[in-house]
Amino acid sequence: MVPSVLRGQESERQRTKDSHSTGVSQTTSGSQAVSTQYPRALRYLEEFIKWIDPTGTASWNAAAYGLSMDVRGERTEVRLGRELMDDFEVALERYQSTSYFETIRNRVRFPILIALGEKGLIPDFKVSAELLNERGEWLKSFGADVSFPPDVYGIFDHGLELLWRVTRIELNSRALAEDG
């Protein structure tokens, strides 16, 4: 079952209390410290990690806008970025039960799932089911930084070269057939 905070409903036990001078609050459930800049977003992320692994923990690196997760005894780091966290905090506060909220929620959840999946930490997680159940909307203009290991770029270049050659041969043979 998905925890209530994952459905966008804040439960009483997750309410936070401010600590004296650190700018950080501690959840009353006794888990990791939560930044006061993104209380809803970080509470959501903490519950999401607990949903994945009940013994898992999450901590926030405010300077790097990164989430550190300890899942199944292994630490994993994901950088979420200031803009995404700003949007997610507002979406949790004002836009729950909307396509916008679901879209932002997916943009937060999927990098976490990918990072954990790459390390083999969520072997029983059904990614295809998660994608099929996605309720957000595809953004028409969305920029993303994509990077691959250097050897993958060589594979792409080789594949594009082969595709170009095959396409050229096919077009030339069609032109000859039409002329002949």
Q: How far apart are CA 84 and CA 65, in angstroms?
A: 10
> Which residues are CB-contacts of 82 (< 8 A; sequence separation ≥ 6)?
65
**What pLDDT score was predicted for residue 146?**
72
pLDDT digits (tens, 9 = 90+) for 80-134: 999 999 999 999 999 998 988 999 999 999 999 999 999 999 988 887 787 777 7
DSSP 8-state assignment for residue 163 = H
Cα–chain center distance at 1: 20
pLDDT digits (tens, 9 = 90+) for 40-89: 999 999 999 999 999 999 999 988 999 999 999 999 999 999 999 999 99
Amino acid at 111: P
Q: How far apart are CA 66 and CA 64, in angstroms?
A: 5
Which position has the higher pLDDT, 137 or 74? 74
**What pLDDT score was predicted for residue 8?**
44
